[in-house]
């Protein structure tokens, strides 16, 4: 809660005191209790949630409880593998366990957004949005498994509606399933949240689609999730712009006696939107807690990390007034940097392997864990000047990323090192090529060297690292033996990642490779230290 809201709440409390009849001791006591509650409300909300529940870029989370655990999946956008899966015992502490897809389903092209869990008749469903390869239109597909966290098999497109179908959510009314989604996001007409009957097996629509809610204000609506309570269907949805520095995302709610509507507004105009730590909150789903409470896992931008740490996972409890109006209470994270700093031995003997992701549209890495380390090969698209970036999710705006390269097992003719990758046209890296160390930048689709210097010939191993500062300046270092040597560009302004963030995801650090199809690089270790 910002200071203006605190002041407003204080005067609201004061106003209530001034209008009460204070002629009796009981009235005075009630007034004192009211003032105390107002103070506590201001104080508790002001602390908000300075640490995320799921740190780093994890948009549009969907959550399910199964076999005594919670599972959640988030948007992966253009990063492959697709749709990271996390698990938790308590909704507060989460650990990544894998991905829904190790490779893109055959019908898909890009834009893997807004997955949605659904469980029915012993089967776990993941509905998801992706652009279709044949025409670039966003459709909703589905994959199923007997397990919530592995072995998903894709069944293709379920919703193909107009120029865009995204943000699936399934509602069950008795034995009837309904699919709901966002439509008309790319049209001149207002966006609508649409629904249709869904077949019992969950694989196809039945009957005519019908409108749930129209964006008459033309602010943008999406990310709907339903809660049924006291004879009402409550539909929570996100309004505004989801992503980037100009975002204004927020959660609103409407309700209806039937799934078909009509829906009426309920609760505050903005149920979740911004506080002193987070902004642009929205697009989540509900899950029953082990404590009998109902929780909402959603995303928001940190006001410190903003687009450079991406939309991170946040948690709130859903509460109700006596008249059925919903509200949310933020829950403090217990992560407190747990698991944010990572260091990996990349040799085959290591039991812990990183969940690396790459831009699957423009690179095709081929990698394996050997006795010497991670051996990386592969190809890139002809219009990819950066090369292959195998990345980790940063959880801070300020960090250090480093690797150790086995030069004796790597091709001299390949560029290999570390990188901060926004997309193929926006990146910065430090690499070794033959007997030179190269500090390079890709900007507006063009790759340039911002500093190059010789290193000793015949080295068997080289350590290199990048350090990102709060002002988005990047410093580069290498170590041949015991001391770090800084690679200082002539123009320091070039060593910056300002503006590198894609509109819907955060930049990511990791290892870098660029070479011929017959080239390879061997990385012995990889670490990421988040510093703020």
Residue written as tokens 């831009």? 359
Burial class (CB in 10 A: 0-12, 13-18, 19+), 523: buried
Burial class (CB in 10 A: 0-12, 13-18, 19+), 121: exposed
Q: Does the CA dihedral 82-242-391-501 come out positive or negative?
A: positive
514 classed as catalytic: no
Q: Does residue 240 contact residue 250 with C-beta atoms inside 8 Å?
A: yes
- For residue 510, the SS3 value is strand
Active-site position among 57, 222, 345, 406: 222
The DSSP line for 282-323 is: EEEEEEE-TTS-EEEEEEEEETTTGGGT-EEEEEEEEEE-TT
Q: Does residue 422 contact residue 359 with C-beta atoms inside 8 Å?
A: no
Residue written as tokens 């902004």? 279
Q: Does residue 95 contact residue 85 with C-beta atoms inside 8 Å?
A: no
- What is the CB-side half-sphere exposure of residue 371 using CA atoms within 13 A? 0
Can you tell me the distance from the alpha carbon of 119 to that of 128, in angstroms, rounded to the nearest whole number?
Answer: 14
Q: Please, which residues have CB within 8 angstroms of residue 55's CB and are 6 or more apart in sequence?
A: 309, 312, 313, 335, 339, 340, 393, 395
222 classed as catalytic: yes
- For residue 38, the SS3 value is helix
**50's tokens:** 């300075």
Closest to 141 in 3D by CA, of 214, 87, 82: 82
Active-site position among 57, 60, 164, 277: 60
Cα distances (angstroms) measured from residue 270 to each of 4, 215, 254, 260: 16, 16, 12, 24
Which residues are tagged catalytic?
A: 60, 222
């Amino acid at each position: 809660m910002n200071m203006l809201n605190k002041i407003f709440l204080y005067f609201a409390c004061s106003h209530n005191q001034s209008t009460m009849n204070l002629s009796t001791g009981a009235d005075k006591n009630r007034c004192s209790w009211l003032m105390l509650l107002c103070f506590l409300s201001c104080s508790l909300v002001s602390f908000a949630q300075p640490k995320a529940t799921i740190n780093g870029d994890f948009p549009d989370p969907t959550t399910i409880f199964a076999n005594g655990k919670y599972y959640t999946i988030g948007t992966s956008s253009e990063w492959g593998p697709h749709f990271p899966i996390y698990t938790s015992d308590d909704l507060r502490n989460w650990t990544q366990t894998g991905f829904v897809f190790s490779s893109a389903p055959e019908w898909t092209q890009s834009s893997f957004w807004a997955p949605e869990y659904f469980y029915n008749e012993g089967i776990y469903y993941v509905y998801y949005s992706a652009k279709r390869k044949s025409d670039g239109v966003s459709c909703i597909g589905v994959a199923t498994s007997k397990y919530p966290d592995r072995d998903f098999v894709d069944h293709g497109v379920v919703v193909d509606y107009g120029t865009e179908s995204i943000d699936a959510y399934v509602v069950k009314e008795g034995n009837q399933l309904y699919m709901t989604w966002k439509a008309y996001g790319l049209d001149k007409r207002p966006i609508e949240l649409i629904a249709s009957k869904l077949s019992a097996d969950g694989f196809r629509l039945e009957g005519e689609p019908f409108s749930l809610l129209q964006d008459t204000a033309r602010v943008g609506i999406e990310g709907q999730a339903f809660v049924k309570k006291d004879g009402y269907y409550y539909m929570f949805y996100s309004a505004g712009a989801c992503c980037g520095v100009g975002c204004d995302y927020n959660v609103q709610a409407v309700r209806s006696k039937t799934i078909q509507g009509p829906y009426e507004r309920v609760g505050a105009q903005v149920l979740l939107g911004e506080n002193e730590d987070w902004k642009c909150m929205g697009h989540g789903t509900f899950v029953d807690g082990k404590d009998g409470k109902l929780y909402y896992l959603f995303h928001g931008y940190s006001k410190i990390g903003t687009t450079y740490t991406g939309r991170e996972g946040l948690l709130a409890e859903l509460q109700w007034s006596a008249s059925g109006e919903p509200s949310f209470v933020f829950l403090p994270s217990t992560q407190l940097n747990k698991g944010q700093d990572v260091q990996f031995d990349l040799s085959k003997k290591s039991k812990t392997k990183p969940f690396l992701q790459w831009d699957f549209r423009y690179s095709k890495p081929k990698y394996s864990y050997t006795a010497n380390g991670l051996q990386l090969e592969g190809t890139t698209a002809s219009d990819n000047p950066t090369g292959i970036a195998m990345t980790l999710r940063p959880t801070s705006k300020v960090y250090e990323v480093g690797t150790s390269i086995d030069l004796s097992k790597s091709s001299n003719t390949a560029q290999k090192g570390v990188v901060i990758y926004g997309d193929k046209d926006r990146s910065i890296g430090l690499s070794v090529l033959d007997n030179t160390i190269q500090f390079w930048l890709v900007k507006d689709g063009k790759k340039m060297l911002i500093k190059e210097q010789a290193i000793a010939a015949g080295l068997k191993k080289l350590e290199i690292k990048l350090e990102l500062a709060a002002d988005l300046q990047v410093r580069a270092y290498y170590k041949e033996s015991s001391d770090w040597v800084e690679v200082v560009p002539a123009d320091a302004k070039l060593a910056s990642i300002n503006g590198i963030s894609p509109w819907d995801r955060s930049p990511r650090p990791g290892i870098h490779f660029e070479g011929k199809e017959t080239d390879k690089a061997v990385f012995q270790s990889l670490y990421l230290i988040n510093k703020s």
